[in-house]
């Protein structure tokens, strides 16, 4: 089974221990890690589909695309909420700078996910 679940532990991508991060930032870090790992699995599944090396079940690919899309939407909403709160004058500078970094990380994994989703759609159109 290729699916990576949202409950899978993600390595911390910051130098601060996760207990020192507000819950929203911890969730953001975890979700970005999940999307990144799912992107790797999606890329592998697409590679197998196009090369015919190993049977990849199209349904598994669709489910993983849907799950990852859902996590990406949740992550985008969480990021917007955290950015809104960090815009307050009393928000710590460290939190604001961490959000800038996490925003860049999220944009990177989101672009990759969108590329993989488009490749999957192209493959589905060619296969139909």
In 3D space, the residue among 5, 4, 25 whose CA is nearest the CA of residue 13 turns out to be 25
Nearest to 60 by CA among 122, 118, 4: 4
Do 13 and 33 form a contact (C-beta atoms < 8 A)? yes
Per-domain residue ranges for the chain? 21-127
More confident residue, 47 or 16: 47
CATH topology of domain 21-127: Methane Monooxygenase Hydroxylase; Chain G, domain 1 (1.20.58)
The residue with tokens 């970005």 is: 32
As a whole number of angstroms, the distance between CA 22 and CA 35 comes to 20
Question: How far apart (Å, rounded) are the C-alpha atoms in residues 103 and 99?
Answer: 6
What is the percent of the chain where pLDDT is above 90?
A: 54
Whether residue 102 contacts residue 32, with contact meaning beta carbons closer than 8 Å, is answered with: yes
| pTM of the shown model | 0.79
What is the tens place of the pLDDT at every residue in 57-109? 888 999 999 999 999 999 999 999 999 988 887 878 888 899 999 999 999 99
């Amino acid at each position: 089974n290729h699916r990576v679940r949202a409950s899978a532990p993600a390595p911390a991508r910051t130098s601060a221990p996760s207990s020192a991060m507000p819950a929203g930032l911890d969730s953001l870090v975890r979700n970005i890690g999940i999307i990144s790992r799912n992107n790797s699995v999606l890329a592998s599944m697409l590679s197998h589909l196009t090369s015919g090396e190993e049977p990849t079940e199209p349904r598994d690919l669709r489910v993983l695309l849907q799950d990852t899309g859902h996590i990406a939407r949740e992550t985008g909403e969480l990021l917007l909420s955290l950015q809104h709160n960090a815009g307050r004058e009393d928000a710590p500078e460290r939190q604001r700078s961490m959000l800038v970094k996490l925003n860049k990380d999220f944009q990177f994994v989101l672009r990759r996910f969108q590329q993989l989703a488009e490749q999957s759609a192209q493959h589905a159109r060619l296969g139909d």
